[in-house]
């Protein structure tokens, strides 16, 4: 005799500890199997894009820190790249090298958190995450040394950076970079052969290459599906064309591949930082720009390869001191568009692991 069953609705969030911020998933369940997913946005409504129209171009830099607050340095960088493109400004060479060093340290820091929280989502409560925090804290010490901040940095400037690095920065950075590969290998020994991690991540949450492209996914989510696309290579900005590094990709597009891509990208970031330290030139750290910046009428789109993928800023100028329009292309929001395809048909126990493997920050999700 066939049993008559009914689906039911379960709200995951907006305060669930695995939702990586205030984000809600409205799940339609048949027992433990997910039949439908409705992502619910809007709990973090900062209105940064509209607020930016009321402030000058330099004043808007502080807003970018609050988008992906786990990758504030790269948010600064993407915005100033867009403004410089709009206004025809070229930052000095030393400033560009400093931007690269800070951006790659930020990438390592963000990936450490992505891997740590993913393992937390898999049920490894706190211990692996605290290992990741240990190394992230050392990066925050370096940022503190440079700009006096540990979360929202406001370090990048239109035409350069706010200040030069202190004398003790490079020795401290070298010491950290020399030690970091050993710690990453330590994580690998603990995790890559862990039977539970492998069962929970391999062939779970598969996003095919075709789907990743169709959803306009970016970053480790895209590269985990086997698409070798990185803005630093595809459309080089700053001085990235001077460095030798590889673009890691996955083959299956599952949770494990997304995790592996982030681990490998940390090694590549280390290689970039080593080269940047060796090549770091002397000179100015700020271009001469007008005290009151009025870019000519027009529009510009500047983008970079952020830790979570392509981060872009679209700006429209009417010739005044404030942007006429500002729009952010946030990788967290774009990568979330694949969430329904990834979750329908899986059990709820895997839902949070799949969601965690996307690695979002809700600060840049809400519009």
The DSSP-derived string for 197-219 is HHHHHTTSS---HHHHHHTT--H
- Residue 190 is predicted with a pLDDT of 80
- Taking residues 35-49, what's their average pLDDT? 88
Domain boundaries, the chain: 8-364
- Whether residue 16 has pLDDT greater than 60: no
**Rounded to whole angstroms, how far apart are CA atoms 90 and 113?**
33
Q: How does residue 124 score in pLDDT terms, banded at 50, 70 and 90?
A: confident
- Taking residues 353-366, what's their average pLDDT? 91
**Rounded to whole angstroms, how far apart are CA atoms 66 and 79?**
12
Q: Which residues contact 50 (CB under 8 A, 6 or more apart)?
A: none
- Residue 3 is predicted with a pLDDT of 74
Which of 333, 302, 334 minimizes the C-alpha distance to 316?
302
- Residue 4 is predicted with a pLDDT of 75
- Whether residue 167 has pLDDT greater than 90: yes
- Residue 12 is predicted with a pLDDT of 87
- Whether residue 262 has pLDDT greater than 80: yes
- Taking residues 18-38, what's their average pLDDT? 88
In the chain, the percentage of residues whose pLDDT exceeds 90 is: 84
The continuous run of DSSP H or E covering 170 comes out as helix 169-191
Task: Tell me which of 158-172, 183-197, 283-297 is least confident.
Answer: 183-197
- Whether residue 181 has pLDDT greater than 70: yes
Q: How does residue 17 score in pLDDT terms, banded at 50, 70 and 90?
A: low
Q: What is the CA radius of gyration of the chain?
A: 21
The DSSP-derived string for 41-91 is --SS---HHHHGGGS-TTTTHHHHHTTSTTSHHHHHHHHHHHHHHHHT---
- The number of angstroms, rounded, from the C-alpha of 18 to the middle of its chain's C-alpha atoms is 17
Q: Which two tokens stand for residue 57?
A: 């171009």
CATH class of the 8-364 domain in this structure: mainly alpha
Q: pLDDT digits over 225-254, tens only?
A: 999 999 999 999 999 999 999 999 999 999
- Whether residue 138 has pLDDT greater than 90: yes
- Residue 171 is predicted with a pLDDT of 98
Which of 259, 330, 279, 312 minimizes the C-alpha distance to 115?
259
**Rounded to whole angstroms, how far apart are CA atoms 162 and 155?**
5
- Residues found in the chain: 367
Indicate the average pLDDT of the chain. Answer: 94
- Residue 5 is predicted with a pLDDT of 78
Q: pLDDT digits over 307-324, tens only?
A: 999 999 999 999 999 999
- Residue 1 is predicted with a pLDDT of 66
- Whether residue 95 has pLDDT greater than 60: yes
């Amino acid at each position: 005799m066939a049993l008559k069953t009914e689906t039911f609705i379960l709200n995951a969030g907006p305060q669930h500890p695995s939702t990586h911020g205030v984000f809600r998933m409205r799940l339609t369940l048949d027992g433990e199997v997910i039949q439908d997913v409705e992502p619910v946005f809007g709990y973090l409504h900062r209105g940064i894009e509209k607020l930016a129209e009321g402030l000058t171009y330099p004043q808007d830099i502080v807003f970018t820190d609050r988008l992906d607050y786990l990758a504030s340095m790269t948010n600064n960088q993407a915005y100033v790249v867009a403004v410089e493109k709009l206004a025809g400004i070229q930052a000095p060479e030393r400033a560009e090298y400093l931007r690269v060093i800070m951006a790659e340290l930020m990438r390592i820091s963000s990936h450490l958190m992505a891997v740590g929280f993913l393992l937390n989502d898999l049920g490894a409560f706190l211990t692996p995450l605290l290992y990741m925090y240990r190394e992230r804290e050392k990066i925050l010490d370096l940022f503190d040394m440079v700009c006096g901040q540990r979360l929202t940095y406001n370090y990048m400037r239109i035409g350069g950076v706010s200040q030069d690095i202190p004398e003790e920065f490079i020795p401290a950075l070298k010491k950290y970079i020399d030690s970091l590969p050993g710690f990453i290998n330590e994580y690998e020994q603990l995790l890559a052969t862990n039977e539970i991690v492998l069962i929970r991540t391999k062939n779970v949450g598969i996003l095919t290459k075709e789907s990743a492209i169709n959803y306009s996914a970016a970053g480790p989510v895209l590269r985990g599906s086997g698409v070798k696309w990185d803005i630093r290579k595809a459309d080089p900005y700053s001085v990235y064309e001077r460095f030798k590094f590889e673009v890691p990709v996955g083959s299956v597009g599952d949770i494990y591949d997304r995790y592996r891509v982030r681990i490998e990208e940390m090694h590549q970031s280390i290689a970039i930082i080593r080269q940047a330290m060796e090549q770091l030139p002397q000179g100015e750290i700020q271009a001469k720009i007008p005290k009151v910046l009025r870019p000519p009428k027009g529009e510009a789109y500047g983008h970079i390869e952020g830790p979570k993928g392509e981060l872009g800023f679209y700006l429209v100028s009417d010739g005044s001191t404030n942007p006429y329009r500002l729009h952010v292309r946030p990788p967290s929001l774009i990568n979330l568009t694949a969430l329904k395809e990834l979750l329908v048909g899986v059990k709820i126990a895997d839902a949070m692991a799949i969601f965690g493997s996307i690695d979002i920050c809700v600060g840049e999700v809400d519009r």
